[in-house]
C-alpha cells in the first residue's frame, strides 16, 4: 500500500524562479500590471494539483525578519540583489491566488522557508508519509532520503524533476547528509556562504569522500598530501565551519505538523475566477471551465423552414441593432463558402439559419437553400437604416460581397472597438473579450472542428445542433459587448476616432482585399534560382573564412564557430542573433557574411518561394488580409502574406517589386508616397521655428539639419554628414538616447550624447515637445494622436529602468506615428469615396506604411493622380506643407 503524500512548496523560491523564467517574455494586463511571474507561478501550482493530486499540501514563504544565520554571519545573503520591483508588485496577487486555491500558507517569523520545510518534512516522514519538497534549492538536498524527495517543478519549457538520493550523489558527488560539509568547503554564492577560498565543488567532494566529513578533514589535515590545498584548509578553517553551520537546515523549528490543516482546503471558485479575470489569464480560465456548463440559459433557435425564415426577417427589420455572423468553410474570405448565418437582436437569444451541415438530407428553404436564404435576407442586410454589428465584420462583409450582398449599415465592429479601447492588448478574440467583459466562457471552436491542420474538419462537417449553438453564441456575445464598448469609448474620448476613421475604413479595406494584387510568379521563380546561386556562393565563402563546414542555420553550431573556434568576444552569452552579429561584424568578416546569408535565405523562403501558395486559383491574384488591430500605434498590418515586410533597403529586396504588375494590358501601377511625413508631424507638434521654416521653405530637411548641427553652410554638407543628420532626425522621433544613437551611428556614446545636445540646441522646440509629452504621459498614463487615438503608457513610472525607458520611447513616438497612420487612413477613406463617385475602374490594392498602391487604366491616370494627391495632402491640416510623391510605371518597382 502506497504511503500518503505531503507536498511542501517553497513559495518564495517558486516566485523567484517564475519571475526569471518569464523575464524574456514579459506579460502585462491591458492596464499595464505585470503578470509574468504570477502566470508561471499559478501554472506550476496547477501542474502539481492536477498531475499529483496530493493528499496533503502546504506552501511555505520566507518571513521578512532576519534569522539566526544573519546573527552568525552578518554578510549572509548580502550579495543577493533586492527583490525585483515587478515581483514585489505581484506577490500580494500570488498570496490571494494561493488562498483561493485552498492551499494552506505557512510563515514562521525568524525562520527561513527551508528550515520550516525541513522540520515539517522530517516530522511527516516519521509519521509514515512520503514527502516531496517542492524547490530547486540545493541546501534542502541534505534531507533527501527514501521518504523525503525533492520535486523541482518545470517552469516554461522545462520538465519537472524528482530528485532522490542517487541523483544527489550523481549531481554533487556526495551523499545528501554530506551536503552541509560540501557547502562548508565550496561555499554558495547564491546565499553568500563563503566556504574556503580556492576550493570548488569537485575538490570539496573529493576531500569529503576521502575523509567522510568536514570535522574528519580537519582532524587529519596532515594527511592532505597537496601542500597548497593543506594551506588553503588551514587558513580557511574558521570560514569552513561557519559556512557549514549556515548551510545546515534546522529541523527543530517550533512548528506543529497538523495533517488536518495541511489537507487541500475548499477552493473559492468565485474568488479564483475573479482573480484570473483581473489578471487576464483567459487560457487558464478556459482550461478550468472546459468541463463545466454555464448556468446562464440561452434561447438559441435553429431556423429550418421558409416560413420561420420570413418570420425572423420581419423581427430583424424592426430591430434598432442586430448582430450578424457567418459560419464558413475557410478562414480565407476569398475562398470561404457559407455554411450558416447567425442573427441576434437581443441578449441571450438568437437564430441560426443553416445552409450546409453534417447529415443534411434535404433542402429546407427551396431548390437552392443558399440562394433562397440570401434572397430573403438581402433587403435587411443591405438596408442602411437598420444598424448592424459583428466581430471582425470585414470578413463577413467580403464573404457576403462574393455572394452578391453589400452589407450596409454596419455601426460597430466589436473587435475594432476593443482595440481602440485597449490598443496594447495581447488578443482581441471574442472568447477572451467575453470572459473579460461579460465573465462568460464561450464554447471553444476546437470542440467542434478539432485541433491542428491535419486533424481539423470544416464547419460544414459538424452536426447541426453543435454548430448552431457555437454560431449563435458568436453573434450573441458581439451584441452584448456593444453597449459596454460604446460606454468605454465615450469615457476614454475615443468615440470620434472610431466613428470617423476606423469604422469608415472597414469597407475600404474589404474592397482592397477583394481587389487583391497581381504578382508575376514566374519572375519570382527565376529570381529564386538566381538567389539560390548567391546563397551557395556565400555558404562556400563562410566555410572558407570559418575554416570548417557547419550548418549555418544552426545557432548552436554557428555559436561554436564564432566563440570557440574563432574566439570572438561574447556579446550576450552564446547568442547569435542579428544584434550580436551586427556588433561583431567589425571584428571579423564571418558575422557580416552570415548576416548576408540569412537575409538572402529569408528573402527566398518568405517571399520568392512562398508567394505562389497565396495565389487565388479563381482570380489569379493574391488577396492579403489587412488588419486594423495589428499595431498599437494605429498602423495597418497585413498577413497571408505580410506585404509590409517586403525589404526595400537592399537592391535585391527592391527587385521583388518588379513582380508586382497590372494584370490587364493598358493598365499601369501608381504609387503615392508621403514624403517625410513623420518629420512634418514632428514639426507641427513641436512648433519648432527652425524645423517649421525648413519645411515651409521646401529645403532638404536632412541637409539643413546637418548644416545647423555641424555649423557649416548647406552647400558644404557632405553625404556622410547628411546621413548622420537623417539618422538623428528619425532617431529622436523614436526616443533614441545616446546608447541607441551610438549603436546606430557606430560612434562612442559620449560623441552621441554631444550630437544629441547639439541637435536640441538647434531644435529647442523638439526638446520642449519631448519634455512636455513625457510630463503629460507620466500624469495621464496615456498619449494621444492629433485625431484623438489613445495609447496607454502605464509603465512610464515603472521602477524597472528598461521597462520605463521603453514606455518613454512609446510616449514620444506614438503621437507622431499614430497621427501618420490616421492621415493615410483618412486619405484612403476619401480616395475610395471619390473613386466611386467618379465611377473609376482603377483599384486601390495595397497600403504599405506611408504609401498607397493602385492599378489604374492609362486613361484614368491624371484623374486618379489629382484625387490621390489632394486627399493625401489634406487628410489632416498641418502647420507645414504635406508633400506626396507620385510615380507611374509598368511595375511597383518602376512606379516607386
| CATH code of the domain covering residue 451 | 3.30.420.10
Question: Concatenated DSSP letters for 446-502?
Answer: HHHH-SSTTT---GGGSBHHHHHHHHHHHHHHHHHHHHHHHHHHHHHT-HHHIIIII
**Domain final residue, candidates 591, 614, 637:** 614
Locate cell 557574411: which residue? Answer: 593
Same structural domain, 436 and 309: yes
Q: Do 705 and 762 meet the contact criterion of CB atoms below 8 Å apart? A: yes
State pLDDT tens for residues 4-29: 899 999 988 888 888 888 877 778 88
Q: Do 34 and 26 meet the contact criterion of CB atoms below 8 Å apart? A: yes
Same structural domain, 332 and 434: yes
Q: Which pLDDT value is given to residue 76? A: 44
Comparing 394-398, 601-605, 670-674, the range with the smallest average pLDDT is 601-605
More confident position, 321 or 799: 321
What percent of the chain is predicted at pLDDT more than 90?
Answer: 45
Of the candidates 118, 402, 70, the one whose C-alpha atom is nearest the C-alpha of residue 257 is 118
Determine, yes or no, domain membership for 318.
yes
Q: Which pLDDT value is given to residue 246? A: 81
Question: Concatenated DSSP letters for 298-343?
Answer: -EEEE--SHHHHHHHHHHHHT-SEEEEEEEES-SSTTT--EEEEEE
Q: Cα torsion for 757, 762, 767, 768, to the nearest 10°?
A: 140
Determine, yes or no, domain membership for 513.
no
Confidence grade of residue 780 (pLDDT, cut at 50, 70, 90): very high
State pLDDT tens for residues 590-610: 888 989 999 899 889 888 998
Same structural domain, 313 and 181: no
The residue-averaged pLDDT of 192-202 equals: 80
Report pTM.
0.81
Confidence grade of residue 406 (pLDDT, cut at 50, 70, 90): very high
Rounded CA separation 670/889 (Å): 7
Q: How many CB atoms lie within 10 A of CB 87?
A: 20
More confident position, 164 or 230: 164
**Domain final residue, candidates 786, 813, 840:** 813
Rounded CA separation 874/235 (Å): 82
Q: Which pLDDT value is given to residue 69? A: 47
State pLDDT tens for residues 249-274: 888 888 888 888 888 777 888 899 88
Confidence grade of residue 291 (pLDDT, cut at 50, 70, 90): low
If you average pLDDT over each of 122-136, 733-747, 755-769, 827-841, which comes out highest?
Answer: 827-841
Determine, yes or no, domain membership for 884.
no
Determine, yes or no, domain membership for 563.
yes
Of the candidates 128, 153, 145, the one whose C-alpha atom is nearest the C-alpha of residue 10 is 153
Determine, yes or no, domain membership for 824.
no
Same structural domain, 278 and 304: no
Q: Which pLDDT value is given to residue 20? A: 82
State pLDDT tens for residues 37-66: 898 899 888 888 888 888 899 998 887 656
Same structural domain, 317 and 460: yes
Determine, yes or no, domain membership for 653.
no
Confidence grade of residue 1 (pLDDT, cut at 50, 70, 90): low
Residue span of the structural domain in which 583 resides: 535-614
Mean pLDDT (the chain) is 88
Same structural domain, 269 and 357: no
Total structural domains within the chain: 5
Q: Which pLDDT value is given to residue 488? A: 92
State pLDDT tens for residues 325-381: 999 999 999 999 999 999 999 999 999 999 988 888 888 888 899 999 999 999 999
C-alpha cell read off for 140: 534542502
C-alpha cell read off for 227: 601542500
Same structural domain, 242 and 276: no
C-alpha cell read off for 659: 513582380
Same structural domain, 682 and 748: yes
> Does residue 638 sit in helix, strand or coil?
strand
Beta strands in 726-842 (DSSP E): 782-784, 790-792
Q: Cα torsion for 638, 641, 643, 649, to the nearest 10°?
A: 130
Rounded CA separation 862/8 (Å): 78
Question: Concatenated DSSP letters for 714-747?
Answer: GGG--HHHHHHHHHHHHHHHTT--HHHHHHHHT-
CATH number for position 182: 1.10.150.20
Same structural domain, 461 and 578: no
Q: Cα torsion for 92, 96, 101, 103, to the nearest 10°?
A: 60
Same structural domain, 155 and 186: no
Same structural domain, 331 and 277: no
> Does residue 848 sit in helix, strand or coil?
strand
Q: Which pLDDT value is given to residue 877? A: 95
The residue-averaged pLDDT of 779-789 equals: 94
> Does residue 670 sit in helix, strand or coil?
strand
Q: Which pLDDT value is given to residue 82? A: 63
State pLDDT tens for residues 627-658: 999 888 999 999 989 888 887 777 887 889 99
Of the candidates 812, 816, 818, the one whose C-alpha atom is nearest the C-alpha of residue 772 is 812
If you average pLDDT over each of 394-398, 423-427, 430-434, which comes out highest?
Answer: 394-398
Same structural domain, 325 and 461: yes
CATH number for position 584: 1.20.1060.10
> Does residue 354 sit in helix, strand or coil?
strand
State pLDDT tens for residues 109-126: 878 888 888 899 999 999
Q: Is the pLDDT of residue 155 over 90?
A: no
Determine, yes or no, domain membership for 118.
yes
Beta partners for residue 886, in sequence order: 672
Rounded CA separation 320/6 (Å): 60
**Domain final residue, candidates 781, 813, 845:** 813
Q: Which pLDDT value is given to residue 721? A: 87
CATH number for position 136: 3.40.50.1010
Determine, yes or no, domain membership for 825.
no
Amino acid at each position: 500500500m502506497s504511503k500518503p503524500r505531503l507536498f511542501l512548496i517553497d513559495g518564495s523560491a517558486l516566485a523567484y524562479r517564475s519571475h526569471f523564467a518569464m523575464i524574456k517574455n514579459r506579460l502585462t494586463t491591458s492596464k499595464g500590471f505585470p503578470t509574468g511571474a504570477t502566470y508561471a507561478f499559478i501554472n506550476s501550482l496547477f501542474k502539481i494539483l492536477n498531475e499529483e493530486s496530493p493528499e496533503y499540501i502546504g506552501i511555505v514563504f520566507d518571513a521578512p525578519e532576519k534569522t539566526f544565520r544573519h546573527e552568525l554571519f552578518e554578510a549572509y545573503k548580502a550579495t543577493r540583489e533586492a527583490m525585483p520591483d515587478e515581483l514585489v508588485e505581484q506577490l500580494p496577487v500570488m498570496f490571494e491566488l494561493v488562498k483561493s486555491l485552498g492551499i494552506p500558507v505557512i510563515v514562521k517569523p525568524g525562520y527561513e522557508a527551508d528550515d520550516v520545510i525541513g522540520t515539517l518534512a522530517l516530522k511527516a516522514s516519521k509519521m509514515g508519509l512520503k514527502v516531496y519538497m517542492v524547490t530547486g534549492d540545493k541546501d534542502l538536498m541534505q534531507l533527501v532520503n527514501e521518504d523525503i524527495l525533492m520535486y523541482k517543478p518545470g517552469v516554461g519549457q522545462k520538465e519537472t524533476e524528482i530528485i532522490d538520493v542517487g541523483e544527489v550523489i550523481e549531481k554533487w558527488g556526495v551523499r545528501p547528509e554530506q551536503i552541509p560539509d560540501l557547502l562548508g568547503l565550496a561555499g554558495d554564492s547564491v546565499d553568500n556562504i563563503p566556504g574556503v577560498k580556492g576550493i570548488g565543488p569537485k575538490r570539496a567532494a573529493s576531500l569529503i569522500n576521502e575523509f567522510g566529513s568536514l570535522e574528519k578533514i580537519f582532524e587529519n589535515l596532515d594527511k592532505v598530501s597537496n601542500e597548497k590545498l593543506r594551506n588553503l584548509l588551514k587558513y580557511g578553517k574558521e570560514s569552513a565551519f561557519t559556512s557549514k553551520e549556515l548551510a545546515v537546515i534546522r529541523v527543530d523549528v517550533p512548528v506543529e505538523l497538523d495533517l488536518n490543516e495541511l489537507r487541500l482546503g475548499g477552493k473559492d471558485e468565485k474568488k479564483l475566477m475573479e482573480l484570473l479575470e483581473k489578471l487576464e489569464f483567459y487560457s487558464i480560465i478556459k482550461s478550468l471551465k472546459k468541463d463545466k456548463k454555464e448556468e446562464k440559459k440561452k434561447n438559441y433557435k435553429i431556423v429550418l423552414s421558409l416560413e420561420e425564415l420570413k418570420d425572423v426577417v420581419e423581427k430583424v427589420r424592426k430591430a434598432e441593432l442586430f448582430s450578424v455572423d457567418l459560419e464558413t468553410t475557410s478562414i480565407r474570405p476569398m475562398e470561404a463558402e457559407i455554411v450558416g448565418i447567425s442573427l441576434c437582436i437581443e441578449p441571450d437569444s438568437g437564430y441560426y439559419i443553416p445552409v450546409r451541415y453534417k447529415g443534411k438530407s434535404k433542402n429546407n428553404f427551396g431548390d437552392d437553400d443558399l440562394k433562397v436564404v440570401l434572397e430573403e435576407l438581402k433587403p435587411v442586410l443591405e438596408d442602411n437604416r437598420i444598424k448592424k454589428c459583428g466581430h471582425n465584420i470585414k470578413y463577413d462583409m467580403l464573404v457576403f460581397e462574393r455572394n452578391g450582398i453589400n452589407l450596409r449599415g454596419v455601426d460597430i465592429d466589436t473587435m475594432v472597438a476593443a482595440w481602440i479601447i485597449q490598443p496594447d492588448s495581447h488578443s482581441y478574440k471574442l472568447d477572451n473579450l467575453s470572459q473579460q467583459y461579460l465573465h462568460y466562457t464561450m464554447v471553444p471552436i476546437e470542440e467542434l472542428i478539432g485541433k491542428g491542420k491535419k486533424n481539423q474538419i470544416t464547419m460544414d462537417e459538424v452536426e447541426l445542433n453543435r454548430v448552431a449553438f457555437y454560431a449563435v453564441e458568436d453573434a450573441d456575445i458581439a451584441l452584448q459587448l456593444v453597449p459596454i464598448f460604446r460606454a468605454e469609448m465615450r469615457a476614454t474620448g475615443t468615440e470620434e476616432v472610431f466613428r470617423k476613421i476606423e469604422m469608415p475604413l472597414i469597407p475600404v479595406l474589404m474592397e482592397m482585399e477583394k481587389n487583391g494584387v497581381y504578382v508575376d510568379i514566374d519572375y519570382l521563380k527565376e529570381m529564386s534560382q538566381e538567389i539560390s546561386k548567391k546563397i551557395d556562393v556565400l555558404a562556400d565563402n563562410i566555410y572558407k573564412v570559418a575554416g570548417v563546414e557547419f550548418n549555418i542555420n544552426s545557432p548552436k553550431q554557428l555559436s561554436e564557430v564564432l566563440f570557440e573556434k574563432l574566439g570572438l568576444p561574447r556579446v550576450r552569452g552564446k547568442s547569435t542573433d542579428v544584434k550580436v552579429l551586427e556588433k561583431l561584424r567589425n571584428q571579423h568578416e564571418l558575422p557580416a557574411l552570415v548576416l548576408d546569408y540569412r537575409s538572402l535565405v529569408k528573402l527566398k523562403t518568405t517571399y520568392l518561394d512562398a508567394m505562389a501558395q497565396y495565389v487565388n486559383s479563381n482570380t489569379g491574384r493574391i488577396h492579403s488580409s489587412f488588419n486594423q488591430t495589428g499595431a498599437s500605434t494605429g498602423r495597418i498590418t497585413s498577413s497571408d502574406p505580410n506585404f509590409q515586410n517586403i525589404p526595400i533597403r537592399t537592391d535585391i529586396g527592391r527587385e521583388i517589386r518588379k513582380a508586382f504588375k497590372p494584370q490587364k494590358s493598358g493598365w499601369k501601377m501608381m504609387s503615392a508616397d508621403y514624403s517625410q511625413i513623420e518629420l512634418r508631424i514632428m514639426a507641427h507638434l513641436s512648433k519648432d521655428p527652425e524645423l517649421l521654416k525648413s519645411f515651409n521653405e521646401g529645403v532638404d530637411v536632412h541637409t539643413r539639419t546637418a548644416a545647423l548641427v555641424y555649423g557649416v553652410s548647406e552647400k558644404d554638407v557632405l553625404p556622410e554628414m547628411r546621413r548622420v543628420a537623417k539618422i538623428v532626425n528619425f532617431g529622436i522621433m523614436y526616443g533614441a538616447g545616446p546608447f541607441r544613437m551610438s549603436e546606430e551611428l557606430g560612434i562612442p556614446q559620449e560623441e552621441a550624447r554631444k550630437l544629441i545636445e547639439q541637435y536640441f540646441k538647434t531644435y529647442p522646440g523638439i526638446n520642449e515637445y519631448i519634455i512636455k509629452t513625457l510630463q503629460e504621459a507620466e500624469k495621464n498614463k496615456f498619449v494621444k494622436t492629433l485625431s484623438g487615438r489613445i495609447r496607454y503608457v502605464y509603465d512610464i513610472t515603472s521602477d524597472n529602468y528598461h521597462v520605463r525607458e521603453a514606455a518613454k520611447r512609446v510616449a514620444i513616438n506614438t503621437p507622431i506615428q499614430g497621427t501618420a497612420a490616421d492621415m493615410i487612413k483618412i486619405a484612403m477613406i476619401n480616395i475610395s469615396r471619390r473613386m466611386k463617385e467618379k465611377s473609376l475602374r482603377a483599384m486601390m490594392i495595397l497600403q504599405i506604411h506611408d504609401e498607397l498602391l493602385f492599378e489604374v487604366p492609362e486613361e484614368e491616370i491624371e484623374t486618379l493622380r489629382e484625387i490621390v494627391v489632394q486627399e493625401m495632402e489634406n487628410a489632416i491640416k498641418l502647420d507645414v506643407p504635406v508633400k506626396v510623391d507620385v510615380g507611374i510605371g509598368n511595375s511597383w518597382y518602376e512606379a516607386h
